[in-house]
Amino acid sequence: MPSPNASGRGQDDKRGRLGGKVAVVTGASSGIGAAVAGALAAEGAGVALAARRADALREVQAGLVEGAGSIAEATDVTDREGVRALVARAERELGPVDFLVNCAGVMYYTLMKNLREEEWEGTVEVNCKGTLNCVGAVLPGMLSRGGGHIVTISSDAGRKVYPGLAVYSASKFFVEALSQGLRLETAGTGVRVTTVQPGNVDTGLASLSNDEEAIQSYGEPTGARVLDPEDVAASVLYALAQPDHVAVNEILVQPRDEPA
């Protein structure tokens, strides 16, 4: 699905803070990923949008500002070869990948005693292995070019475990540990690694849950004004738009009235 305005590196170099850069954004079919794709395109980056739902991706792509090159590629992040194909296409049609923004994720409110083992497994597959697949697909190119930036949407649940979200929290602790390790190992190579840790955001994420006992115990909204996906996209943009010598390693961004 190339956009009519798909363009390679260089054509928009002077437009926006990210002109001439190329980003792969996973989870771009909705919520935070869609907002990130929009924010990066508005700053002049070429964007490869990835998620499983092709129609939803196309809709997000159609809403991007005119002029930014983009592609939309139906991708399941749990499929390592599919992720490699996504990155290969992005490089072919947009240029070498400067930014990976890992937004694909799932979350199920569930109590451990209720043994929702398929949900446990799905969480590990998407949030942990999916993130690894994406990192693995871009890291060699970034290292060989001496630069790149990997941003992962973690969670405030990557800093503190929430009841009803034990496996989800574990998956976000995983991405925090992975990102810390990657950051330490790539220091001096030009690669930057950031985690963004949002609190509650107004997206459809919570609608995956159907363990009523867990939802009633821990998953009901507090009534506080939560974040919009665009608030999280602004944090991603802040990290990506820093001067070369600056690394914004972690950003905790929560609703004002839901500190944790």
Ligand X SMILES: N[C@@H](C=O)C(=O)O
Residues that bind ligand X (CB under 6 A): 107, 155-157, 162, 165, 199-200
Beta-sheet strands, E only, within the chain = 22-26, 46-51, 70-74, 99-102, 148-153, 191-198, 250-253
**What are the DSSP calls for 4-57, one per residue?**
TT---TTTTTTSSTTTT-EEEEESTTSHHHHHHHHHHHHTT-EEEEEES-HHHH
Radius of gyration of the chain (CA): 18
Q: Which does 93 bind (CB under 5 to 8 A by kind): ligand X, ligand NDP, none?
A: none
The residues annotated as belonging to the active site are 168
Say which DSSP state 96 is in. Answer: S
Which has the closest alpha carbon to 107: 135, 129, 127?
127
| Least distance (Å) between residue 106 CB and ligand NDP | 5
| Gap between the Cα atoms of 225 and 222, Å rounded | 9
Q: Which stretch binds ligand NDP (CB under 6 A): 7-15, 37-45, 49-57, 111-119?
A: 49-57
Single residue of 203, 209, 235, 254 touching ligand NDP by CB under 6 A: 203
* Contact present, 141 and 98 (Cβ < 8 Å): no
Q: Which does 78 bind (CB under 5 to 8 A by kind): ligand NDP, ligand X, none?
A: ligand NDP
* Contact present, 168 and 107 (Cβ < 8 Å): yes
- 71 CB neighbour count, 10 Å cutoff: 22
Single residue of 64, 68, 104, 214 touching ligand NDP by CB under 6 A: 104
204 binds ligand NDP (CB under 6 A): yes
Single residue of 198, 236, 237, 248 touching ligand NDP by CB under 6 A: 198
Binding mask 113-142 for ligand NDP (x = CB under 6 A): -------------x---x------------
| Least distance (Å) between residue 239 CB and ligand NDP | 15
Q: Which does 162 bind (CB under 5 to 8 A by kind): ligand NDP, ligand X, none?
A: ligand X
Say which DSSP state 227 is in. Answer: B
| Least distance (Å) between residue 136 CB and ligand NDP | 15
| Least distance (Å) between residue 15 CB and ligand NDP | 26
Residues in the site for ligand NDP, rule: CB under 6 A? Answer: 26-27, 29-33, 51-53, 56, 75-78, 103-107, 126, 130, 153, 155, 198, 200-201, 203-205
